[in-house]
Amino acid sequence: METPARTGRRGVDQCGVICCRVERGGRLSVLLITSRDTGRWVIPKGYLQKKEKPYRCAQREASEEAGVRGKVRKKLLGYYSYLKDQEQPLTVSVHLLRLESETTHFREYGERQKIWISPADAASLVDEPELQEIFRAIDADNPLTSQDRLKPHRIHGRRPRADAAVSLAALPGLT
């Protein structure tokens, strides 16, 4: 595959985010949303604003496109490329966000659907091969350890997950 034209900062055109949460029993789930135009499954992503840091852009896109807020990792999880509108090649830097809260009403509510699923299922639903690989790496590396010592966060309407923690540092691209 040819390298797409790189017009943004450090060769990145857009910033995206993989939102994750720990379910009961310690299982990791990731968020997918539908694109507004084609309805295919994607991650929240968008263009950097002037002087915006990539991880902050990813955090903003999660809020605007999916109503998700949380702690985002500054270090990249990886990159993927895709064709916007079937003609413009773009490169997306991907960050990881740990869910802290989720709202049902957000900027693009009504324009998108969203689902929380396993990383393996997410890999089978997205079209971009490089993004599929990022999801497969998350699934294969089993990031559910206590090494991070992250305090579990309560998901609105759910019981606390006191015994579950996610080791985000163990994921590829974060070392």
pLDDT digits (tens, 9 = 90+) for 31-88: 999 998 888 999 999 999 989 999 999 999 999 999 999 999 998 889 999 888 778 8
The residues facing 14 across adjacent strands are 47, 92
Mean pLDDT of 143-150: 40
Instruction: Read off the pLDDT of residues 154-168 as tens digits, 9 standing for 90 and up.
Output: 444 444 333 333 344
pLDDT at 107: 78
pLDDT at 7: 44
**Domains parsed from the chain with CATH numbers:** 9-170 (3.90.79.10)
